[in-house]
Amino acid sequence: MHPILFTLWGHPVYAYVLGTGLGYAIGAGLGITLGLLDKRALIDLVEAAIVVVLSALLGSKVFHVLFEAQGHVLSTGAKATGVLDLLADDPWHAVRLFESGYVFYGGAVFGTLMGWWFVKRRFTNPLSVADYTVPGFALGIGVGRVSCFFAGCCHGRSTTLPWGVQFPVGHPAHGQLVHPVQLYDAAFGFLAFAVSVALYRRRRFGGQVFLVFCACYAVWRFVTETFRADAERGLWLGGLLSTSQLVSLSTLPIIALVWMRASRTAPAAQPMP
C-alpha cells in the first residue's frame, strides 16, 4: 500500500488523486481524438469533455455525501450518523473536488446526464458521440482502480485464495488476506478498453459501443461488489445490496430500452478504416 507516491516541492502526491486525474485526462483525450477522426469540430468536443469531466467530479462527490455520510469522521472526532450530520459539520464537503471521497457511479450518472444534455444541443446523433467516450473511460477505470489499490481504499473481504493480499497494520482489513477487488476492477477496465476499440471499428449503429460497455460494467460491478468489505460503499435492505448494486440493477432495464430504440432508429455508424 502506497497512498503517497512521492513528494513534489514538499507536497505529498497521493496515489488516488494522481490516478483519478490521469483517468479523467485519458478519458477526455481519447474521446476528443475519436471525435476528431469522425470529423467533429474540436471546440464542440473540448467543451463536451469539460462538461462531462466537471459533472462527473461533482456527481462523485454528491453521491459520496448522499450514500457514504454515515460513519464519516467529523471535525469533532465523532462519527456522522447521516447526511445532515456531515453537512452541518462541513457544508462545502460536496464541492471540494480535490479532496478524497468519491463514488464512481455518481460520476458516471452525472457525467452521462449532463453530457447527454450538452451533446443534444451540439450534435445530430448524441449516441454516436457517447461511443467516443468508451475506450478512454475504460482505460481510465483501469488506471483509477490501480490507484485505489495503492491507496488501500475499496478493499475486499477476507479470502483464502492464493492471490489474496494483506494490507499494513492499521488498515480496516485488520491484517487479513483479502480479495484485491481494486485489481479485479482494473483488469476489467483494461480488458474493456481492448474490446471497445475492436467493437468501435465494427459498430452497426451509433451508441452500440456505449450501451454494450454500460451493460457489461453494470453486471461486472454487481458481481465484484459481493467481494468488497468496505462499509463506506453504503448498504441497503439490511445489508443485502450495496449502493452500486442498486444502481446496476436500475440501469440495466434502461440500457435495454435504449438499445431497442437505438438499434431501430439511430443512424448507421461509419466503421473506422
The label of the residue with cell 468508451 reads 134
Q: What is the pLDDT along the chain (273 residues), one digit of tens a residue?
A: 677 777 878 777 777 778 888 888 998 999 999 999 988 899 999 999 999 999 988 888 887 777 766 666 677 777 777 777 777 887 777 776 656 667 777 888 888 899 889 988 877 777 888 999 999 999 999 998 998 888 888 888 999 999 999 888 778 888 889 999 999 999 999 999 999 999 998 888 888 999 999 999 999 999 999 998 876 666 667 667 888 898 899 999 999 999 998 888 765 555 444
pLDDT digits (tens, 9 = 90+) for 149-178: 888 888 889 999 999 998 887 788 888 899
The reported pLDDT for the residue numbered 71 is: 63
The reported pLDDT for the residue numbered 136 is: 92
Q: Beta strands 241-242 and 165-166: pairing type? A: unpaired
Angle at 242 between CA 238 and CA 246, to 5 degrees: 105
Q: Give the count of beta carbons closer than 10 Å to the beta carbon of residue 174.
A: 10
> pTM, whole model, 2 decimals?
0.83
Cβ distance 212 to 138 under 8 Å? no
Cβ distance 135 to 200 under 8 Å? yes
Q: How far apart are CA 184 and CA 39, in angstroms?
A: 36
Length of the chain: 273
Among 93, 96, 94, 71, smallest CA distance to 82 is for: 71
Cβ distance 27 to 133 under 8 Å? yes
- Phi, psi torsion values for 197, nearest 5 degrees: -65, -45
Among 30, 34, 40, smallest CA distance to 203 is for: 34
The reported pLDDT for the residue numbered 273 is: 42
Q: How far apart are CA 8 and CA 245, in angstroms?
A: 38
User: Cα dist. 240→109, 141, 185, 225, 236 in Å?
Assistant: 22, 26, 21, 11, 6
Strand partners, 14: 4
The reported pLDDT for the residue numbered 96 is: 65
- Report the SS3 class of residue 228: strand
CB-based burial label for 264 (10 Å; 0-12, 13-18, 19+): exposed
Tell me, letter by letter, the H, E, C secondary structure of 138-201. Answer: HHHHHHHHHHHHHHCCCCECECCCCCCEECCCCCCCCCCEECCHHHHHHHHHHHHHHHHHHHHC
The reported pLDDT for the residue numbered 218 is: 94
Helical spans, DSSP H, in the chain? 15-37, 42-68, 83-89, 104-119, 126-151, 181-200, 208-225, 243-265
